[in-house]
Structure 1
Amino acid sequence: MVVKIGGAKAVDPAGAVGDVAHLAANGRRVVVVHGGSTVVDETIERLGMEPEYVESASGVTGRFTDAETMEAFTMAMAGKLNTELTALFREAGVDAVGLSGVDGGLLSGPRKSAVRVIEGGKKKIRRGEHSGRIESVNADLLSGLLADGYTPVVSPPMEGREGDGGVTPVNTDADRAAAAVAGALGADLVLLTDVAGVYADPDDPDTLIESAATPDELDAVEDAAEGFMGKKVMAAKEALSGGSGRVIVADANVRDPIVAALGGAGTAIERSVLGDADGDDAEQAETEGETA
């Protein structure tokens, strides 16, 4: 299975670390993917810059990552967060290996150097962007580590391929990175966040949507998903289209969050929601920045 641990400040990874340790000790192969939006913003501010978020032409909000921001992003994600989380897993008895998406070409795709954004109600082109859309996953690298008993702990940045054949580390959304990994491995995906799942009324936790198994039920989930949850539902569709059998959006902060999700907590989205779709998701975000 693939477990994505959210990067918002409100997400405590301790429960997920304990669950992965339990699952790994019982022979379950797990890949962990993590975000880090809060720490990235804090690092950017510590360096005297301001985090910048933009709205894409399709209405998705994401981080604008220029060259200076990309340096801070890499420091925070691959340098600090990935190392610290790997250390937590190893302390818990997990034989964890930290990887960025650049390592071994784990997450790879063309670099996007310009994005279409909405500013002041007008569509504009912003250049100097360092982001990318994942087109390939080195599943052999992950499978080899898993077969040898290791637990990969994966974070952005990804490998951005330049038009001249060069390689540049670039930003990519961590939820969608987890979706790409789950699809490539044909694995179930658990997206851990700071709420119990997708709510029919985003302001009312009592309206949790427990499952979606048909295209109509998926439509209801998509209609209900607002803000950051919209990207998680988009990632869920991409994972299922790529080969994942099930995606669960669940609360990271409950006791034994992964075990709880596998036992029925959260919002479970089944592969059957795709109906007769051929797996192509035409609804792609223009901005690929990591937000959670």
Structure 2
Amino acid sequence: MIVVKIGGSVICKDPSKAVADLANYAGEAVAIHGGGCAVNDLMKALGLQPKFLTHPGGVVSRYTDYETLRAFVMAMSWINKTVVASLAARGIPAVGLTGADGAVVKAKRKEKVVVVDERGRQRVVDGGYSGKIVDVDAKALLPPPLKVLAPIALSERGELLNVDGDQIAFEVASRLGAKLVILSDVDGLIVGGRVVERLDPDEAERLAKSEEVRGGMKRKLLAAAEAARMGVETIIYNGLADSPIGRALAGAGTHITPS
């Protein structure tokens, strides 16, 4: 089994190569997608301003109030069905889901979160409609048919929650004992102008906490380090390249491997 996470940067730039290659692994894959840029575009069209929070350690996340949640669910559902339609055009009868369907992904709403403000001070703010994953019914995602999952979870109160797509991917991979391929818009973790080909969990965690790594890569490396300690290999590669999944499995990109 492999778990494939198609990042938002790929979804919004050109998902065609990633989706075409995903079709080649329909019998052995679970797919999760992002799409934050599409959420931003929809919010702006609706007259809403996207907001982001910086957490201690430098990880950045979307602030999800109720209006943002509505836009998030709309945008992610659109992406989900366009990916399913693209697979159908290639003869693959995929099923598109959110984590709320069948309660596949359960999460606990973050009541409060710690952030770093513009002056560099830590403070506690309302968590909005973002969630921390507490359970994933990974077996419900097994093929056939190929499942395509949007990063929306269900709370114990029946609320829809914004959850991190990378984290869902790591949770599914760990539960299935699968290899995880994360498709971004870069060739892997790049340090000093070069792709870092292989990391163990400690090295990945150290780099994630350093100034050498910024943005969403910090979160990816931290989660990959945790997954590697549980026996899951993670590969970060460029989803805009030809046959990105096949290339990643053949050795391209950055591989975070169990010790």
TM over 0.5: yes
Q: RMSD across aligned C-alpha pairs, in angstroms?
A: 1.8
Task: Tell me if 1:231 matches 2:181.
Answer: no
Give, in angstroms, the shift of residue 220 of structure 1. 5.6
Contact 2:7 2:183 in 1 (8 A): yes
- Give the whole-Å Cα distance in 2 for the aligned partners of 1:242 and 1:260: 24
Change in Cα spacing, 1:42 to 1:135, as seen in structure 2 (3 Å) is: same
Alpha-carbon spacing, 1:36–1:232, altered in 2? closer, same or farther (3 Å): same
Alignment of 1:92-131 (within 5 A): 92-119=90-117, 120-127=119-126, 129-131=128-130
84, 87, 90: which one aligns with 2:85: 87
Distance 2:130 2:217 in 1: 21
In 1, distance between residues paired with 2:198 and 2:206? 11
Equivalenced residue count is 254
Runs of 4+ in structure 1 off by over 4 angstroms are none
Give the aligned partner of residue 36 of structure 2.
37
2:163 counterpart residue number: 172
Matched, 1:218 2:204: yes
AA of the residue aligned to 1:181:
V
* TM-score, length-scaled by structure 1: 0.82
How far 1:243 moved relative to its partner?
A: 4.7
Identity of aligned residues (%): 37
1:240 aligned residue: 228
Q: Is 2:16 aligned against 1:14?
A: yes
Q: In structure 2, what residue type is equivalent to 1:7?
A: G
Contact 1:200 1:221 in 2 (8 A): no
Aligned amino acid, residue 213 of structure 2: A
Does 2:256 correspond to 1:269?
A: yes
Q: How many angstroms apart in 2 are the aligned matches of 1:175 and 1:140? A: 18
For structure 2, the 5+ residue unaligned runs are none
- 1:12 and 1:253 in contact (8 A); partners too: yes
Shift of 1:122: 2.4
Query: Separation in 2 of the partners of 1:242 and 1:103?
Result: 27
Deviation (angstroms), 1:199: 1.2
Q: Which sections of structure 1, spanning at least 5 residues, go unmatched?
A: 273-292
| C-alpha distance in 2 between matches for 1:219 and 1:130 | 28
